Amino acid sequence: MMERQQRGVTLWFTGLSGAGKTTISSSVEKKLRALGYKVEVLDGDVVRQNLTKGLGFSKEDREENIRRIGFVAELLTRNQIIVIVSVISPYREIRLEMRHRIDNFIEVYVNAPIEVCELRDVKGLYKKARSGEIKNFTGIDDPYEPPLNPEVECRTDIETLDESVAKVLALLASMNIISSTVASVG
């Protein structure tokens, strides 16, 4: 496959646990890679095991986690990579800080009601949070501040995966990050 000339961009997927961030971002990644784009994924769970091990879930630790992810995303974006960040990132202020730090920042709000997220919870995290086993759980005893003006909103409770992925690809095409013929193949 021929390598494409491309512009760097950070797609910042934010939303509650179980909203569908990893599902959508994985699908976007596969489509872009299959078409020859250079893509790197910074998934919250993977990053916490490697780059930010030792950080807890206090507001300060969550913000430090996001700053470290943002630093890596900024470096990759600056080097013409499509960066897919998939993290809860519950606080608006730190997401805004990342928007100002990273050129070509696209916020993708993966939106599903908490009731839907709880039904999808294969790890049982919401149940543990509701019983008090897990403290500072986003959406239960810690806030999630939804984006006010995301570039893309994926409503995973009412959209199919393909519809959500198509929205992200269409925006990338409209910004001339990817070819418009690629987005229509979606």
Residue 89 falls in the annotated catalytic set: yes
Report the 10 Å Cβ neighbour count for 86: 29
Q: Can you give the pLDDT at residue 182?
A: 52
The string of pLDDT tens digits covering residues 133-143 is 988 888 888 89
How many structural domains compose the chain? 1
Considering the domain boundaries, does residue 158 fall inside one? yes
Confidence check: pLDDT of 4 > 60: no
Considering the domain boundaries, does residue 4 fall inside one? no
Confirm if 140 and 126 have CB atoms less than 8 A apart.
yes
Catalytic residue, candidates 89, 131, 164, 184: 89
CA distance 66 to 62: 6
Confidence check: pLDDT of 44 > 70: yes
Q: Can you give the pLDDT at residue 186?
A: 47
Enclosing domain of residue 173: 9-181
Place of tokens 């990050």: 177
CATH number assigned to the domain comprising residue 63: 3.40.50.300
Confirm if 82 and 173 have CB atoms less than 8 A apart.
no
